[in-house]
Chain A
Amino acid sequence: MTDSVLNARADARARGGQTSEWMPYLPASSSPYRPPGVEALTWAETVAPGGYTHKVLARGTRIRFDDPTGDACAHVIVYNALETVERLNLADTVKIPWQAYLGAGHPLLSGDGRVLATIVGDTSGHHDAFCGTTTEAWNQRKYGDARPEGPSPAGRSLFVKAAAKHGLAPRDLPPSVSFFQGIRVDADGAFVWRGSAGEGTSVELLAELPLLVLVANVPHPLDPRADYVVGPLRVHAWRAAPTGPDDDRFQATPEAHRAYLNTIDYAEARGL
Protein backbone atom coordinates (compact mmCIF):
# COMPACT_ATOMS: atom_id res chain seq x y z
CA MET A 1 0.00 0.00 0.00
CA THR A 2 1.69 3.15 -1.21
CA ASP A 3 -1.42 5.23 -1.96
CA SER A 4 -0.66 7.90 0.67
CA VAL A 5 2.44 9.47 2.14
CA LEU A 6 2.00 7.61 5.40
CA ASN A 7 1.55 4.28 3.62
CA ALA A 8 4.46 4.97 1.30
CA ARG A 9 6.63 5.79 4.29
CA ALA A 10 5.61 2.59 6.03
CA ASP A 11 6.31 0.60 2.88
CA ALA A 12 9.76 2.20 2.47
CA ARG A 13 10.67 1.69 6.11
CA ALA A 14 9.63 -1.97 5.97
CA ARG A 15 12.43 -2.48 3.43
CA GLY A 16 15.14 -1.62 5.96
CA GLY A 17 17.24 -4.09 7.90
CA GLN A 18 17.72 -6.47 5.02
CA THR A 19 21.07 -7.69 3.75
CA SER A 20 22.63 -8.23 0.34
CA GLU A 21 25.62 -10.16 -0.89
CA TRP A 22 27.18 -6.79 -1.77
CA MET A 23 26.73 -3.81 0.48
CA PRO A 24 28.62 -1.51 2.83
CA TYR A 25 28.68 -2.45 6.52
CA LEU A 26 27.99 0.29 9.06
CA PRO A 27 29.47 0.86 11.46
CA ALA A 28 32.43 -0.55 9.57
CA SER A 29 33.57 -2.62 12.55
CA SER A 30 30.32 -4.60 12.32
CA SER A 31 31.50 -6.20 9.06
CA PRO A 32 30.83 -9.93 9.04
CA TYR A 33 34.15 -10.29 7.21
CA ARG A 34 36.34 -8.28 9.60
CA PRO A 35 39.98 -9.25 9.00
CA PRO A 36 41.45 -11.30 11.85
CA GLY A 37 43.27 -9.27 14.48
CA VAL A 38 41.68 -5.97 13.46
CA GLU A 39 39.34 -4.34 15.97
CA ALA A 40 38.28 -0.93 14.70
CA LEU A 41 37.50 -0.63 11.01
CA THR A 42 37.02 2.64 9.12
CA TRP A 43 35.67 1.15 5.88
CA ALA A 44 33.95 -2.16 5.25
CA GLU A 45 32.15 -3.08 2.08
CA THR A 46 31.55 -5.87 -0.38
CA VAL A 47 31.65 -4.36 -3.87
CA ALA A 48 29.22 -5.91 -6.33
CA PRO A 49 30.46 -7.60 -9.49
CA GLY A 50 30.40 -4.77 -12.02
CA GLY A 51 30.21 -2.25 -9.16
CA TYR A 52 32.42 0.55 -7.91
CA THR A 53 33.29 2.29 -4.69
CA HIS A 54 35.34 5.27 -3.53
CA LYS A 55 36.57 6.66 -0.24
CA VAL A 56 38.71 9.38 1.24
CA LEU A 57 41.11 7.86 3.77
CA ALA A 58 43.51 9.27 6.34
CA ARG A 59 47.28 8.97 5.97
CA GLY A 60 48.35 5.73 7.63
CA THR A 61 45.19 3.83 6.73
CA ARG A 62 45.68 0.18 5.85
CA ILE A 63 43.35 -1.00 3.06
CA ARG A 64 42.71 -4.66 2.45
CA PHE A 65 41.13 -6.06 -0.71
CA ASP A 66 39.89 -9.67 -0.59
CA ASP A 67 38.91 -11.80 -3.56
CA PRO A 68 36.69 -14.48 -2.01
CA THR A 69 35.80 -16.27 -5.26
CA GLY A 70 38.92 -15.86 -7.40
CA ASP A 71 36.98 -13.80 -9.93
CA ALA A 72 37.30 -10.29 -8.52
CA CYS A 73 39.36 -7.74 -10.42
CA ALA A 74 40.04 -4.56 -8.46
CA HIS A 75 40.86 -1.68 -10.80
CA VAL A 76 42.27 1.08 -8.61
CA ILE A 77 43.24 4.75 -8.93
CA VAL A 78 44.66 6.63 -5.95
CA TYR A 79 44.99 10.40 -5.52
CA ASN A 80 46.43 12.70 -2.90
CA ALA A 81 43.08 13.66 -1.35
CA LEU A 82 44.38 17.15 -0.55
CA GLU A 83 45.53 17.93 -4.10
CA THR A 84 43.94 15.52 -6.54
CA VAL A 85 46.18 16.75 -9.35
CA GLU A 86 48.72 14.48 -7.62
CA ARG A 87 47.66 10.99 -8.61
CA LEU A 88 48.79 7.51 -9.53
CA ASN A 89 51.47 7.57 -12.21
CA LEU A 90 51.85 4.03 -13.52
CA ALA A 91 54.91 4.75 -15.61
CA ASP A 92 56.81 6.01 -12.57
CA THR A 93 55.34 3.16 -10.51
CA VAL A 94 57.06 0.56 -12.69
CA LYS A 95 60.08 2.54 -13.89
CA ILE A 96 61.42 3.86 -10.61
CA PRO A 97 61.43 0.48 -8.78
CA TRP A 98 62.86 -1.09 -12.01
CA GLN A 99 60.06 -3.67 -11.86
CA ALA A 100 56.86 -4.06 -13.87
CA TYR A 101 55.25 -6.84 -11.81
CA LEU A 102 53.60 -5.60 -8.66
CA GLY A 103 53.93 -7.34 -5.32
CA ALA A 104 54.53 -6.76 -1.62
CA GLY A 105 56.82 -3.80 -0.99
CA HIS A 106 56.04 -2.10 -4.31
CA PRO A 107 55.19 1.61 -4.01
CA LEU A 108 52.31 3.16 -5.94
CA LEU A 109 53.97 6.42 -6.96
CA SER A 110 52.49 9.74 -7.97
CA GLY A 111 53.95 11.90 -10.71
CA ASP A 112 55.32 14.16 -8.01
CA GLY A 113 58.03 11.92 -6.65
CA ARG A 114 56.04 10.66 -3.70
CA VAL A 115 54.50 7.39 -2.53
CA LEU A 116 50.72 7.56 -2.48
CA ALA A 117 50.39 4.00 -1.16
CA THR A 118 52.61 0.99 -0.57
CA ILE A 119 51.60 -2.59 -1.32
CA VAL A 120 52.28 -4.05 2.13
CA GLY A 121 50.59 -7.42 1.74
CA ASP A 122 49.92 -9.68 -1.23
CA THR A 123 48.90 -13.34 -1.24
CA SER A 124 47.86 -13.23 -4.92
CA GLY A 125 50.81 -11.98 -6.96
CA HIS A 126 48.55 -11.85 -10.04
CA HIS A 127 48.25 -8.17 -10.95
CA ASP A 128 48.64 -5.86 -13.92
CA ALA A 129 50.16 -2.43 -14.46
CA PHE A 130 49.97 -2.48 -18.29
CA CYS A 131 46.42 -2.94 -19.57
CA GLY A 132 44.40 -0.55 -17.43
CA THR A 133 40.66 -1.01 -17.31
CA THR A 134 37.95 -1.44 -19.94
CA THR A 135 36.29 1.24 -22.05
CA GLU A 136 32.82 1.34 -23.53
CA ALA A 137 34.34 0.69 -26.95
CA TRP A 138 36.04 -2.44 -25.60
CA ASN A 139 32.98 -3.84 -23.84
CA GLN A 140 30.72 -3.08 -26.76
CA ARG A 141 33.02 -5.12 -28.97
CA LYS A 142 33.57 -7.91 -26.46
CA TYR A 143 30.17 -8.26 -24.80
CA GLY A 144 27.87 -6.41 -27.19
CA ASP A 145 26.75 -4.05 -24.41
CA ALA A 146 28.66 -1.35 -22.56
CA ARG A 147 25.85 0.72 -21.08
CA PRO A 148 26.84 1.98 -17.62
CA GLU A 149 23.44 0.81 -16.35
CA GLY A 150 23.58 -2.48 -18.24
CA PRO A 151 24.90 -5.94 -17.39
CA SER A 152 28.48 -5.32 -18.59
CA PRO A 153 29.62 -1.80 -17.64
CA ALA A 154 33.16 -0.73 -18.51
CA GLY A 155 35.63 0.13 -15.79
CA ARG A 156 36.13 3.58 -17.24
CA SER A 157 32.38 4.30 -17.05
CA LEU A 158 32.47 3.46 -13.35
CA PHE A 159 35.59 5.56 -12.75
CA VAL A 160 33.91 8.53 -14.46
CA LYS A 161 31.05 8.33 -11.97
CA ALA A 162 33.24 7.66 -8.93
CA ALA A 163 35.48 10.60 -9.83
CA ALA A 164 32.48 12.87 -10.40
CA LYS A 165 31.37 12.25 -6.82
CA HIS A 166 34.54 14.00 -5.70
CA GLY A 167 34.20 16.87 -8.15
CA LEU A 168 36.62 15.33 -10.62
CA ALA A 169 36.22 15.21 -14.40
CA PRO A 170 37.26 12.57 -16.94
CA ARG A 171 40.53 14.48 -17.45
CA ASP A 172 41.35 13.58 -13.85
CA LEU A 173 41.44 9.86 -14.66
CA PRO A 174 44.96 8.54 -15.25
CA PRO A 175 45.67 4.91 -16.25
CA SER A 176 44.62 2.54 -13.45
CA VAL A 177 46.23 -0.53 -11.94
CA SER A 178 44.42 -3.83 -11.41
CA PHE A 179 44.71 -6.51 -8.74
CA PHE A 180 43.77 -10.23 -8.70
CA GLN A 181 43.96 -10.92 -12.46
CA GLY A 182 47.49 -11.07 -13.80
CA ILE A 183 49.39 -10.86 -17.04
CA ARG A 184 53.02 -11.42 -17.98
CA VAL A 185 55.05 -9.97 -20.86
CA ASP A 186 56.86 -12.48 -23.08
CA ALA A 187 60.19 -11.90 -24.84
CA ASP A 188 58.45 -10.37 -27.87
CA GLY A 189 56.35 -8.06 -25.71
CA ALA A 190 53.13 -10.08 -26.06
CA PHE A 191 50.86 -10.24 -23.03
CA VAL A 192 50.38 -13.71 -21.60
CA TRP A 193 47.23 -14.18 -19.53
CA ARG A 194 47.79 -15.57 -16.03
CA GLY A 195 44.39 -14.78 -14.62
CA SER A 196 43.61 -15.39 -10.98
CA ALA A 197 45.71 -16.98 -8.24
CA GLY A 198 42.50 -18.62 -7.00
CA GLU A 199 39.91 -17.85 -4.38
CA GLY A 200 40.73 -16.39 -1.01
CA THR A 201 43.68 -14.13 -1.82
CA SER A 202 44.19 -10.59 -0.54
CA VAL A 203 46.15 -7.42 -1.24
CA GLU A 204 46.88 -4.77 1.37
CA LEU A 205 47.76 -1.14 0.65
CA LEU A 206 49.07 1.40 3.14
CA ALA A 207 48.04 5.02 2.56
CA GLU A 208 51.22 7.11 2.78
CA LEU A 209 49.27 10.34 2.21
CA PRO A 210 45.60 11.25 2.68
CA LEU A 211 44.07 9.28 -0.17
CA LEU A 212 41.12 9.40 -2.45
CA VAL A 213 40.69 5.80 -3.61
CA LEU A 214 38.55 4.87 -6.62
CA VAL A 215 37.78 1.17 -7.17
CA ALA A 216 36.00 -0.46 -10.11
CA ASN A 217 35.33 -4.20 -9.91
CA VAL A 218 35.01 -5.32 -13.52
CA PRO A 219 36.58 -8.06 -15.67
CA HIS A 220 40.16 -7.48 -16.77
CA PRO A 221 40.29 -6.35 -20.43
CA LEU A 222 42.27 -9.46 -21.42
CA ASP A 223 40.10 -11.93 -19.50
CA PRO A 224 39.68 -14.64 -22.17
CA ARG A 225 36.17 -15.63 -21.05
CA ALA A 226 33.55 -14.48 -23.52
CA ASP A 227 31.04 -13.78 -20.74
CA TYR A 228 31.27 -10.86 -18.33
CA VAL A 229 32.62 -12.85 -15.38
CA VAL A 230 33.59 -11.01 -12.20
CA GLY A 231 33.16 -11.89 -8.53
CA PRO A 232 32.49 -9.79 -5.45
CA LEU A 233 35.33 -7.73 -3.97
CA ARG A 234 35.65 -7.15 -0.25
CA VAL A 235 37.21 -3.93 1.02
CA HIS A 236 38.22 -3.27 4.61
CA ALA A 237 40.30 -0.43 6.02
CA TRP A 238 41.61 0.53 9.42
CA ARG A 239 43.95 3.04 11.01
CA ALA A 240 47.63 2.12 11.16
CA ALA A 241 50.93 3.99 10.80
CA PRO A 242 52.44 5.23 7.52
CA THR A 243 55.85 3.94 6.48
CA GLY A 244 58.62 5.41 8.59
CA PRO A 245 62.33 4.95 9.34
CA ASP A 246 61.65 1.93 11.55
CA ASP A 247 60.17 -0.07 8.69
CA ASP A 248 62.48 -2.30 6.64
CA ARG A 249 60.96 -1.02 3.40
CA PHE A 250 61.89 2.57 4.25
CA GLN A 251 65.45 2.02 3.03
CA ALA A 252 64.95 -1.17 1.01
CA THR A 253 66.21 0.60 -2.14
CA PRO A 254 67.71 4.06 -2.71
CA GLU A 255 64.73 4.98 -4.91
CA ALA A 256 62.17 3.94 -2.29
CA HIS A 257 64.14 5.68 0.43
CA ARG A 258 64.06 9.01 -1.38
CA ALA A 259 60.38 8.50 -2.25
CA TYR A 260 59.49 8.02 1.41
CA LEU A 261 61.64 11.01 2.36
CA ASN A 262 59.74 13.16 -0.16
CA THR A 263 56.42 11.85 1.16
CA ILE A 264 57.24 12.52 4.80
CA ASP A 265 58.60 15.95 3.88
CA TYR A 266 55.25 16.83 2.27
CA ALA A 267 53.23 15.42 5.16
CA GLU A 268 55.21 17.24 7.82
CA ALA A 269 55.11 20.54 5.95
CA ARG A 270 51.33 20.25 5.76
CA GLY A 271 51.06 19.38 9.43
CA LEU A 272 49.70 15.91 8.74
Chain B
Amino acid sequence: MTSSLALDWSEPLVAGEVVLDDRVAPNASWSAVVRAGHVLTIVDVGGNQSGDCLLYNAADTEERYSVPDTLAWQGNAYVRTGTVLRSNLGNPLMTVVGNEIDRQDTIGGACSKESNTLRYGHHVMFHHGCRENFLSEGAKHGLGLRDLVSNLNWFMNVPVEADGALGIVDGMSAPGKRVAVRAETDVLVLVSNCPQMNNPCNDFNPTPLRMIVVRP
Protein backbone atom coordinates (compact mmCIF):
# COMPACT_ATOMS: atom_id res chain seq x y z
CA MET B 1 0.00 0.00 0.00
CA THR B 2 1.46 3.33 -1.04
CA SER B 3 -0.17 6.71 -0.72
CA SER B 4 0.85 9.32 -3.20
CA LEU B 5 0.47 12.98 -2.35
CA ALA B 6 1.09 13.92 -5.97
CA LEU B 7 -1.97 15.05 -7.90
CA ASP B 8 -1.98 15.12 -11.69
CA TRP B 9 -5.05 16.85 -13.12
CA SER B 10 -3.99 15.86 -16.67
CA GLU B 11 -6.07 16.91 -19.70
CA PRO B 12 -8.71 15.47 -22.07
CA LEU B 13 -7.70 12.17 -23.66
CA VAL B 14 -9.53 13.12 -26.86
CA ALA B 15 -9.10 16.50 -28.52
CA GLY B 16 -12.06 18.82 -28.93
CA GLU B 17 -13.94 21.81 -27.62
CA VAL B 18 -14.35 21.51 -23.85
CA VAL B 19 -18.04 21.72 -22.93
CA LEU B 20 -17.74 20.70 -19.27
CA ASP B 21 -14.81 20.50 -16.86
CA ASP B 22 -15.65 19.51 -13.27
CA ARG B 23 -13.56 18.48 -10.31
CA VAL B 24 -15.14 15.86 -8.04
CA ALA B 25 -13.96 16.09 -4.44
CA PRO B 26 -12.96 12.93 -2.57
CA ASN B 27 -16.03 11.02 -1.30
CA ALA B 28 -18.43 13.13 -3.38
CA SER B 29 -20.85 12.32 -6.19
CA TRP B 30 -21.27 13.84 -9.65
CA SER B 31 -23.64 13.62 -12.59
CA ALA B 32 -24.07 15.14 -16.03
CA VAL B 33 -25.74 14.42 -19.34
CA VAL B 34 -23.13 13.66 -22.00
CA ARG B 35 -24.58 14.40 -25.42
CA ALA B 36 -24.35 11.89 -28.26
CA GLY B 37 -20.94 12.09 -29.89
CA HIS B 38 -19.33 13.92 -26.99
CA VAL B 39 -16.43 12.27 -25.17
CA LEU B 40 -16.08 12.15 -21.38
CA THR B 41 -12.54 11.85 -20.04
CA ILE B 42 -12.26 10.73 -16.43
CA VAL B 43 -8.92 11.57 -14.83
CA ASP B 44 -7.63 9.52 -11.89
CA VAL B 45 -6.04 12.60 -10.37
CA GLY B 46 -4.46 11.02 -7.28
CA GLY B 47 -3.99 7.50 -8.60
CA ASN B 48 -5.94 4.30 -7.96
CA GLN B 49 -9.14 6.15 -7.14
CA SER B 50 -12.20 4.10 -7.99
CA GLY B 51 -14.90 6.06 -9.81
CA ASP B 52 -18.08 4.02 -9.48
CA CYS B 53 -20.27 4.80 -12.48
CA LEU B 54 -23.81 4.20 -13.74
CA LEU B 55 -25.22 5.18 -17.15
CA TYR B 56 -28.78 5.89 -18.23
CA ASN B 57 -30.41 6.76 -21.53
CA ALA B 58 -31.08 10.44 -20.76
CA ALA B 59 -34.36 10.33 -22.69
CA ASP B 60 -35.68 7.24 -20.89
CA THR B 61 -33.87 6.21 -17.73
CA GLU B 62 -35.66 2.86 -17.71
CA GLU B 63 -32.97 1.99 -20.23
CA ARG B 64 -29.74 1.83 -18.25
CA TYR B 65 -26.27 0.36 -18.12
CA SER B 66 -26.20 -3.43 -17.97
CA VAL B 67 -23.14 -5.35 -16.86
CA PRO B 68 -24.32 -8.69 -18.25
CA ASP B 69 -25.26 -7.25 -21.63
CA THR B 70 -21.94 -5.42 -21.89
CA LEU B 71 -19.99 -8.55 -21.01
CA ALA B 72 -22.00 -11.09 -23.01
CA TRP B 73 -21.85 -9.03 -26.22
CA GLN B 74 -18.07 -8.76 -26.00
CA GLY B 75 -17.51 -12.25 -24.55
CA ASN B 76 -15.12 -10.95 -21.91
CA ALA B 77 -15.31 -10.01 -18.24
CA TYR B 78 -13.06 -6.94 -18.42
CA VAL B 79 -13.55 -3.46 -19.83
CA ARG B 80 -10.87 -2.16 -22.18
CA THR B 81 -10.52 0.18 -25.15
CA GLY B 82 -13.25 -0.73 -27.63
CA THR B 83 -15.66 -2.08 -25.04
CA VAL B 84 -19.19 -1.01 -25.89
CA LEU B 85 -21.07 -0.16 -22.70
CA ARG B 86 -24.52 -1.56 -23.38
CA SER B 87 -27.94 -1.05 -21.91
CA ASN B 88 -30.41 -3.55 -20.50
CA LEU B 89 -31.91 -3.59 -24.00
CA GLY B 90 -28.54 -4.46 -25.54
CA ASN B 91 -28.13 -1.02 -27.10
CA PRO B 92 -24.81 0.88 -27.04
CA LEU B 93 -24.84 3.70 -24.48
CA MET B 94 -21.14 4.59 -24.59
CA THR B 95 -17.92 3.22 -26.07
CA VAL B 96 -14.51 3.18 -24.41
CA VAL B 97 -12.37 5.12 -26.89
CA GLY B 98 -9.27 5.59 -24.73
CA ASN B 99 -7.86 3.82 -21.69
CA GLU B 100 -4.51 4.22 -19.98
CA ILE B 101 -4.61 1.22 -17.61
CA ASP B 102 -4.60 -2.50 -18.40
CA ARG B 103 -8.27 -3.08 -17.75
CA GLN B 104 -11.23 -1.47 -16.07
CA ASP B 105 -13.67 -3.24 -13.76
CA THR B 106 -17.40 -3.79 -14.04
CA ILE B 107 -17.92 -6.89 -11.90
CA GLY B 108 -16.98 -5.57 -8.45
CA GLY B 109 -20.14 -3.53 -7.91
CA ALA B 110 -20.51 -0.62 -5.53
CA CYS B 111 -19.77 -0.46 -1.83
CA SER B 112 -22.61 0.32 0.54
CA LYS B 113 -23.21 0.81 4.22
CA GLU B 114 -25.08 -2.47 4.25
CA SER B 115 -22.62 -4.63 2.31
CA ASN B 116 -19.77 -3.10 4.31
CA THR B 117 -21.24 -4.79 7.39
CA LEU B 118 -20.81 -8.15 5.67
CA ARG B 119 -17.32 -7.45 4.42
CA TYR B 120 -15.78 -5.71 7.41
CA GLY B 121 -18.12 -5.94 10.40
CA HIS B 122 -20.99 -3.97 11.87
CA HIS B 123 -18.67 -1.33 13.31
CA VAL B 124 -18.35 0.24 9.81
CA MET B 125 -22.12 0.80 9.36
CA PHE B 126 -21.71 4.56 9.48
CA HIS B 127 -18.87 4.75 6.97
CA HIS B 128 -19.82 6.48 3.74
CA GLY B 129 -20.43 4.32 0.66
CA CYS B 130 -21.00 4.52 -3.08
CA ARG B 131 -24.62 3.41 -2.85
CA GLU B 132 -25.20 6.44 -0.62
CA ASN B 133 -23.68 8.65 -3.30
CA PHE B 134 -25.73 7.02 -6.06
CA LEU B 135 -28.91 7.58 -4.05
CA SER B 136 -28.30 11.24 -3.32
CA GLU B 137 -27.02 12.03 -6.82
CA GLY B 138 -29.71 9.89 -8.51
CA ALA B 139 -32.45 11.65 -6.55
CA LYS B 140 -31.56 14.84 -8.42
CA HIS B 141 -32.74 13.05 -11.57
CA GLY B 142 -35.76 11.24 -10.12
CA LEU B 143 -33.83 7.99 -9.72
CA GLY B 144 -34.08 5.77 -6.65
CA LEU B 145 -33.06 2.38 -5.34
CA ARG B 146 -35.03 0.61 -8.08
CA ASP B 147 -32.76 2.29 -10.59
CA LEU B 148 -29.47 1.14 -9.08
CA VAL B 149 -27.92 -1.81 -10.89
CA SER B 150 -24.46 -3.32 -11.16
CA ASN B 151 -22.02 -0.59 -12.17
CA LEU B 152 -18.65 0.26 -13.67
CA ASN B 153 -15.63 0.95 -11.49
CA TRP B 154 -13.15 3.13 -13.32
CA PHE B 155 -9.54 2.55 -12.15
CA MET B 156 -10.49 -0.38 -9.88
CA ASN B 157 -8.80 -3.78 -10.21
CA VAL B 158 -10.91 -6.93 -9.76
CA PRO B 159 -9.22 -10.03 -11.18
CA VAL B 160 -11.08 -13.32 -11.63
CA GLU B 161 -8.68 -16.18 -10.92
CA ALA B 162 -8.76 -19.65 -12.46
CA ASP B 163 -10.81 -21.15 -9.63
CA GLY B 164 -13.33 -18.29 -9.68
CA ALA B 165 -11.74 -16.43 -6.77
CA LEU B 166 -12.44 -12.74 -7.23
CA GLY B 167 -11.78 -9.62 -5.24
CA ILE B 168 -10.65 -6.03 -5.15
CA VAL B 169 -6.84 -5.90 -5.13
CA ASP B 170 -4.20 -3.19 -5.46
CA GLY B 171 -4.88 -0.93 -8.43
CA MET B 172 -2.93 -0.64 -11.67
CA SER B 173 -3.51 3.08 -12.12
CA ALA B 174 -1.45 6.14 -11.18
CA PRO B 175 -1.91 9.91 -10.86
CA GLY B 176 -3.08 11.41 -14.15
CA LYS B 177 -4.19 8.11 -15.77
CA ARG B 178 -7.32 8.49 -17.86
CA VAL B 179 -10.19 6.69 -19.48
CA ALA B 180 -12.34 8.21 -22.24
CA VAL B 181 -15.88 7.18 -23.16
CA ARG B 182 -17.89 8.42 -26.14
CA ALA B 183 -21.65 8.78 -25.78
CA GLU B 184 -23.57 6.86 -28.46
CA THR B 185 -26.80 8.54 -27.44
CA ASP B 186 -27.56 11.25 -24.86
CA VAL B 187 -26.41 9.58 -21.64
CA LEU B 188 -26.94 10.54 -18.01
CA VAL B 189 -23.73 9.62 -16.18
CA LEU B 190 -23.76 9.10 -12.41
CA VAL B 191 -20.43 8.86 -10.60
CA SER B 192 -19.53 8.13 -7.01
CA ASN B 193 -15.99 9.08 -6.10
CA CYS B 194 -15.54 6.01 -3.94
CA PRO B 195 -15.15 6.76 -0.22
CA GLN B 196 -14.33 3.19 0.82
CA MET B 197 -11.70 3.09 3.57
CA ASN B 198 -11.58 -0.67 4.11
CA ASN B 199 -10.12 -2.02 0.86
CA PRO B 200 -7.55 -0.96 -1.77
CA CYS B 201 -10.08 0.33 -4.34
CA ASN B 202 -8.77 3.85 -3.69
CA ASP B 203 -5.44 2.97 -2.12
CA PHE B 204 -7.03 3.68 1.29
CA ASN B 205 -6.71 7.34 0.36
CA PRO B 206 -9.68 8.96 -1.41
CA THR B 207 -8.52 11.54 -3.96
CA PRO B 208 -10.29 13.79 -6.51
CA LEU B 209 -11.49 12.92 -9.99
CA ARG B 210 -11.62 15.29 -12.95
CA MET B 211 -14.48 14.95 -15.44
CA ILE B 212 -13.96 16.63 -18.81
CA VAL B 213 -16.47 16.51 -21.64
CA VAL B 214 -15.36 17.52 -25.12
CA ARG B 215 -17.13 17.91 -28.43
CA PRO B 216 -14.59 16.32 -30.82
Q: Is A20 an interface residue (CB 8 A)?
A: no
Residues 120-144 of chain A, each 1 if its beta carbon lies under 8 Å from chain B, else 0: 0000000000111101111000000
A92 at interface, CB cutoff 8 A: yes
CB < 8 Å A-B pair total: 145
Chain A hits for B66, CB < 8 A? 132, 175
Number of chain A residues close to chain B: CB under 8 A: 48
Please measure, in the bound complex, the distance between the C-alpha atom of A222 and the C-alpha atom of B75, giving whole angstroms.
Answer: 8
Assess the B77–A130 pair: CB atoms within 8 A. yes
As a 0/1 sequence over residues 68 to 101 of chain A, the CB contacts with chain B under 8 angstroms (1 = contact) are 0000000000000000010001111011101111
The answer to whether the Cβ of B197 comes within 8 Å of any Cβ in the partner chain is no
**Do residues B91 and A96 form an inter-chain contact, with CB atoms below 8 A?**
no
In contact, A94 and B107 (Cβ under 8 angstroms) = yes
Q: Which of B68, B112, B160 contacts A132 (CB 8 A)?
A: B68
Interface mask (B63-80 → A, CB under 8 Å = 1, otherwise 0): 010111101110111100
A133 to B109 alpha-carbon distance, docked (Å): 18
Please state if A91 and B150 are interface contacts (CB–CB under 8 Å): yes
Docked-complex contact B166 and A95, CB < 8 angstroms: yes
Q: Which B residue sits closest to A103, measured CB to CB?
A: B164
Chain A contacts with B in 147-183, Cβ cutoff 8 A: 156, 169-176
What interface size band does chain B fall in?
A: 35 or more
* B103 interface residue per 8 A CB criterion: yes
CB of B89 within 8 Å of the partner chain: yes
Q: Which 7 residue pairs spanning A and B have beta carbons closest together?
A: A91-B109, A132-B68, A113-B114, A137-B90, A101-B164, A189-B78, A135-B90
Q: A89-B150, A130-B71 are in contact. List 4 more A-B contacts (CB 8 A).
A: A95-B108, A99-B164, A113-B118, A185-B160
A-B contacts, 23 of them at CB < 8 A, read: A92-B118, A94-B107, A95-B115, A96-B118, A96-B119, A98-B166, A100-B165, A101-B163, A111-B131, A111-B145, A111-B148, A113-B115, A114-B114, A130-B72, A131-B68, A138-B72, A156-B88, A171-B61, A171-B147, A174-B150, A189-B76, A254-B121, A258-B122
